[in-house]
């Protein structure tokens, strides 16, 4: 396999700004581009010329304007050919690998999932290589691979620590690149999801934006000034020490009454198992709580109040324009959404606006899509280091 992404690099900061504006919001006329980026016509021409020559941007017909009345090339909008390149995104969980192929605009066009029967790094890389080969049969113009992992990632290549995979200092990017011949970007999975939502999802165009995920763990991502704020401790325990209720439950993971102990799927299942002796799925627990099962309703109610408190604290300190709640645990909102909102309101000033919350019912393919967006950012656009 080969990549065409290298022919688009390197981009200057100005060229990158133009490319991102068109990619995320296009097609755009040159006039609109210049206005959005506060550029003169001459500066815009200088910046767009190499992007057009490299094939990253193209001139397209202006929608609804007959050819005979167009005012020459300068009036033609600029756009990207979304289908010209494909990207693979992988999300690795403890027992599965979820894979997607996306366009240059991150639209998912194919999926492939495989069970993960080992955590041996070389064998995991073999699985990713096999999935890449399978996806490449129908999508030969692959430009790169993005991989999302729950854990600490260094230099977008080395998994320094992953509690779910029991990894330390695993050069995952190098292992997969050797097997596939494609450039690879590895990143913390929450960071990848935040980037995807900032560019193409719930946070597009927002200055202050937060992503909060609940599932196997608690994930948090902050966007300020339209850019994700990186954190050296990403996925090293956000929520484990964020105490919501000092007298709350003690679970195997997280401090007593922490966000992790109250909110994560494993902790909720643990509490029910300890109280009833039965091992229920998360969906069963939510269903029994909705039906009025006393123990299930108590645990789910505690989780809902904890989530409301957490959302209020984030809103109070960050003052975001929107909080996106995502992850496999968001079904809590369907069963106890009113409790979440009441708890959030109780932790806010009486005159404060409601917490600007959007809930996204998502699966692991959305996380894989986030990894593909990282590949687009880094391999095509030469994303500036934060």
Task: Specify the pLDDT at position 277.
Answer: 92
On whether both 346 and 287 belong to a single domain, the answer is yes
C-alpha–C-alpha distance, residues 346 and 326, integer Å = 23
- Beta strands at 208-214 and 184-188: parallel, antiparallel or unpaired: unpaired
Q: Give the mean pLDDT of 357-363.
A: 87
C-alpha–C-alpha distance, residues 97 and 131, integer Å = 9
Q: Residue 211: name the closest of 358, 368, 79, 75 by CA.
A: 358
380 pLDDT more than 80: no
CA-CA-CA-CA torsion sign (307, 312, 313, 317): positive
Whether residue 200 lies inside any domain: the answer is no
On whether both 12 and 68 belong to a single domain, the answer is yes
On whether both 222 and 349 belong to a single domain, the answer is yes
On whether both 75 and 110 belong to a single domain, the answer is no
C-alpha–C-alpha distance, residues 367 and 182, integer Å = 20
On whether both 347 and 215 belong to a single domain, the answer is yes
On whether both 70 and 146 belong to a single domain, the answer is no
Using an 8 Å Cβ cutoff, are 335 and 268 in contact?
A: no
Q: Please identify, among 29, 45, 80, the residue that sits at the C-terminal boundary of a domain.
A: 80
Phi, psi for residue 214 in degrees, rounded to 5: -125, 135
Name the H helices within 114-234. Answer: 121-138, 172-180, 189-200
What are 370's two structure tokens? 């986030």
pTM (2 d.p.):
0.85
Q: What is the DSSP string of 201-219?
A: STTTT-SEEEEEEESSSEE
Task: Specify the pLDDT at position 232.
Answer: 61
Residue 126 pLDDT class (50, 70, 90 cuts): very high
Cα 147 off chain centre by: 11
On whether both 30 and 160 belong to a single domain, the answer is no
Whether residue 224 lies inside any domain: the answer is yes
Whether residue 17 lies inside any domain: the answer is yes
On whether both 10 and 138 belong to a single domain, the answer is no
Residue 378 pLDDT class (50, 70, 90 cuts): confident
Q: Please identify, among 36, 64, 80, the residue that sits at the C-terminal boundary of a domain.
A: 80
Q: What is the residue range of 252's domain?
A: 205-359
Helices 265-276/282-290 angle, 10° precision: 70
What are 277's two structure tokens? 């002796």
Q: Give the mean pLDDT of 166-191.
A: 95
How much of the chain is helix, strand and coil, in % rounded to 5? 45, 20, 35
Q: Residue 323: name the closest of 219, 206, 210 by CA.
A: 210
On whether both 326 and 372 belong to a single domain, the answer is no
Using an 8 Å Cβ cutoff, are 91 and 188 in contact?
A: no
CATH for 138: 3.30.420.40
320 pLDDT more than 50: yes
Whether residue 386 lies inside any domain: the answer is no
Using an 8 Å Cβ cutoff, are 272 and 294 in contact?
A: no
Residue with more model confidence, 231 or 42: 42
C-alpha–C-alpha distance, residues 383 and 72, integer Å = 33
Q: Please identify, among 19, 54, 80, the residue that sits at the C-terminal boundary of a domain.
A: 80
CATH for 26: 1.10.10.10
* Per-residue pLDDT tens over the stretch 235-290: 555 777 889 999 989 898 888 999 999 999 999 999 999 999 999 999 999 999 99
Q: Give the mean pLDDT of 304-310.
A: 97
C-alpha–C-alpha distance, residues 41 and 79, integer Å = 17
* Per-residue pLDDT tens over the stretch 19-51: 889 988 889 999 999 999 999 999 999 999 988
On whether both 131 and 59 belong to a single domain, the answer is no
On whether both 175 and 230 belong to a single domain, the answer is no
Split into its structural domains, the chain has a count of 3
Q: What is the DSSP string of 84-113?
A: GSEEEEEEE-SSEEEEEEE-TT--EEEEEE
Helices 282-290/331-346 angle, 10° precision: 60
Helices 41-53/13-25 angle, 10° precision: 80
- Beta strands at 184-188 and 142-149: parallel, antiparallel or unpaired: parallel
Stretch (H or E) spanning 339: helix 331-346
Whether residue 308 lies inside any domain: the answer is yes
* Per-residue pLDDT tens over the stretch 100-122: 999 999 999 999 999 999 999 99
On whether both 166 and 301 belong to a single domain, the answer is no
| Residues shown for the chain | 386
Using an 8 Å Cβ cutoff, are 88 and 142 in contact?
A: yes
| 284 Cβ neighbours under 8 A, 6+ residues apart | none
Q: Residues of 196-235 as b/e, b for ≥16 C-beta within 10 angstroms?
A: bbbbbbbbeebebbbbbbbbbbbbbbbbeeeebeebeebb
Whether residue 252 lies inside any domain: the answer is yes
């Amino acid at each position: 396999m080969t990549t065409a992404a290298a022919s688009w690099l390197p981009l200057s900061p100005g060229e990158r700004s133009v490319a991102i504006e068109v990619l995320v919001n296009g097609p755009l006329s040159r006039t609109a581009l210049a206005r959005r980026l506060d550029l003169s016509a001459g500066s815009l021409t200088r910046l767009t010329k190499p992007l057009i020559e490299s094939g990253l941007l193209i001139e397209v017909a202006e929608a609804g304007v007959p050819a005979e009345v167009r005012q020459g090339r300068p009036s033609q909008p600029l756009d990207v050919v979304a289908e010209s390149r494909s990207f693979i995104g992988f999300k690795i969980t403890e027992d599965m690998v979820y894979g997607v192929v996306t366009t240059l605009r991150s639209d998912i066009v194919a999926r492939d999932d495989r069970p993960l029967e080992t955590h041996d790094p070389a064998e995991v890389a073999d699985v990713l290589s096999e999935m890449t080969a399978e996806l490449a049969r129908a999508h030969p113009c692959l430009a790169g691979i993005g991989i999302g992992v729950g854990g600490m990632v260094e230099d977008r290549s080395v998994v320094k620590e992953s509690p779910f995979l029991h990894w330390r200092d695993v050069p995952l990017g190098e292992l997969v690149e050797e097997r596939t011949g494609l450039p690879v970007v590895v990143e913390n999975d929450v960071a990848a999801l935040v980037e995807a939502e900032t560019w193409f999802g719930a946070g597009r165009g927002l200055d202050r934006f937060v992503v909060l995920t609940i599932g196997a763990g608690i994930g948090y991502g902050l966007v300020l000034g339209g850019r994700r704020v990186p954190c050296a401790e990403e996925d090293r325990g956000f929520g484990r020490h964020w105490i919501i209720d000092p007298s709350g439950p003690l679970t195997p993971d997280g401090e007593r009454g922490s966000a992790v102990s109250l909110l994560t799927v494993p902790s909720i299942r643990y509490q029910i198992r300890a109280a009833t002796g039965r091992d229920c799925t998360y969906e069963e627990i939510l269903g029994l709580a909705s039906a009025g099962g006393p123990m299930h309703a108590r645990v789910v109610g505690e989780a809902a109040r904890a989530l409301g408190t957490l959302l209020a604290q984030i809103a109070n300190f960050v003052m975001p324009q929107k909080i996106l709640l995502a992850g496999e645990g968001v079904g809590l909102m369907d069963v106890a959404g009113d409790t979440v909102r009441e708890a959030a309101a109780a932790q806010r000033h009486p005159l404060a606006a409601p917490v600007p919350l959007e809930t996204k019912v998502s699966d692991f393919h959305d996380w894989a899509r986030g990894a593909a967006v990282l590949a687009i950012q880094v391999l095509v656009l030469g994303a500036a280091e934060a």
